[in-house]
């Protein structure tokens, strides 16, 4: 905590809160709104500053690199800190994202890749004093929440198209500096087998029904080469490619409520942005945080919410909705990849901390991934596969290999 106090003293001295002096720094226990993150440690801080006539309290969120070697390797959490700094300092201003008022303010961001660990942290505005919080439901969201989140996501994605027209060269230079995805981390041999096992769990569950086995067998085969599969999905296809949030799910979406109903939304955590298919964000949240019933009732409505936000920003559209949906169909399978890993873990009543997996060998990790969350989790991720199959998205994805 001393290192946090020293950095806060520095930013106060630099005038980020105006012509004031630091009076006190008080640490708060982590509340529910900031504990559901795997790739960083979160600390709440109340900073009291004063001048000659008054004092003011600023509530901040401090993000620190995790200590777990497994998490560092599995999620590449260390190097992803520089992504968040790059996003806040350069990419969001280039996109003119401040017009959306959807991200918290960053007061400090630094990552030295271990050279000066005491200063490796990101300090952000705490969204909770403004009335923003995570949903009470820990996994799934209802349509009212989705309509707000997807409309704002569409607006955020649309900014990439404006920037490509106005400043394409600088845009390419900056997003080219973003670190690779965790799925491309060649230093972690376990990740391919663990992720492959997680995906095959839901696919095999659907195969037991005996429907469209040829397509499912082809998909099963593709999962054995997960790295190549992800690279194909992530390959930017113009004119659809945008700068994605990269980890767009319920854990990183904060809502403001009036009379119990969501009326505004903010996005959090920019460690895994990427210039790629919009499905990286859209398919992830649509499969990670929807129930089977919500997908059946509101799937088309949710896609339209995204499209309404997208078209609200752009006066000249680079493609129409049907063209967009055909692109989405080819890449929607991406949403299943993280879902198959994280949904069962989140549905486990007494999950083993991810850090504890460090002591397990590969086979033990694989065995755990097949059992975690029990039959309920197997059915839940199987429902995602079934939806992909019914919508024709699996077939559309397989055509990428034609």
* pLDDT for res 194: 86
3-33 pLDDT, tens digit per residue, is: 999 999 999 999 999 999 999 999 986 554 4
Angle at 288 between CA 274 and CA 386, to 5 degrees: 115
* pLDDT for res 120: 85
Domains of the chain: 67-103+131-401 (3.90.1200)
Q: What are phi and psi of 372, to 5 degrees?
A: -60, 135
* pLDDT for res 32: 46
Contact 160, 101 (CB under 8 A): no
**More reliable by pLDDT, 34 or 292:** 292
204-259 pLDDT, tens digit per residue, is: 999 999 999 999 999 999 999 988 999 999 999 999 999 999 999 999 999 999 99
Q: Where are the alpha helices (DSSP H) in 125-255?
A: 143-175, 189-207, 213-223, 226-234
Give the Å distances, CA to CA, from 398 to 115, 129, 212, 220, 329: 45, 47, 13, 11, 11
* Distance separating alpha carbons of residues 381 and 386, to the nearest angstrom: 9
Of all residues in the chain, the percent with pLDDT exceeding 70 is 89
3-class secondary structure for 279-315? HHHHHHHHHHCCCHHHHHHHHHHHHHHHHHHHHHHCC
Contact 75, 38 (CB under 8 A): yes
């Amino acid at each position: 905590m001393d290192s946090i106090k020293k950095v806060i003293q520095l930013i106060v001295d630099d005038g980020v809160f105006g012509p004031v002096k630091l009076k006190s720094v008080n640490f708060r226990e982590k509340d529910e709104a900031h504990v559901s993150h795997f790739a960083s440690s979160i600390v709440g801080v109340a900073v009291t500053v004063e001048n000659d006539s008054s004092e003011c309290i600023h509530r901040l969120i401090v993000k620190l690199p995790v200590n777990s070697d497994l998490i560092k390797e599995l999620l590449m959490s260390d190097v992803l800190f520089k992504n968040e700094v790059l996003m806040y300092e350069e990419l969001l201003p280039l996109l003119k994202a401040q017009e959306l008022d959807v991200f918290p303010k960053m007061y400090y961001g630094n990552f030295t890749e271990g050279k000066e660990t005491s200063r490796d942290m990101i300090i952000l505005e705490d969204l909770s004093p403004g009335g923003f919080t995570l949903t009470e439901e820990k996994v799934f969201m209802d349509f009212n929440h989705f309509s707000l989140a997807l409309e704002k996501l569409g607006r955020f994605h649309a900014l990439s198209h404006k920037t490509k027209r106005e400043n394409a060269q600088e845009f390419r230079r900056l997003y080219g500096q973003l670190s690779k995805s965790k799925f491309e981390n060649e230093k972690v041999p376990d990740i391919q087998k663990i992720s492959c096992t997680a995906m095959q769990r839901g696919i095999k569950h659907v195969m037991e029904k005996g429907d469209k086995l040829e397509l499912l067998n082809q998909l099963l085969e593709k999962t054995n080469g997960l790295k190549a599969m992800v690279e194909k999905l992530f390959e930017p296809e113009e004119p659809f490619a945008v700068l994605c949030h990269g980890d767009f799910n319920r854990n990183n979406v904060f809502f403001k409520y009036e009379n119990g109903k969501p009326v505004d939304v903010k996005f959090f955590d920019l460690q895994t942005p990427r210039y790629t298919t919009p499905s990286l964000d859209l398919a992830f949240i649509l499969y990670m945080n929807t129930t089977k019933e919500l997908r059946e009732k509101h799937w088309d409505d949710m896609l339209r919410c995204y499209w309404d936000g997208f078209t609200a920003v752009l006066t000249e559209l680079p493609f129409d909705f049907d063209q967009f949906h055909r692109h989405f169909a080819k890449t929607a399978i991406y949403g299943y990849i993280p879902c198959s890993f994280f949904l069962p873990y989140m549905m486990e009543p007494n999950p083993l901390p991810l850090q504890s997996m460090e002591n397990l060998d590969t086979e033990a990790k694989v065995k755990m991934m097949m059992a975690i969350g029990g039959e309920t989790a197997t059915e839940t991720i199987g429902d995602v596969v079934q939806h992909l199959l019914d919508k024709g998205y699996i077939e559309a994805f397989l055509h990428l290999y034609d």
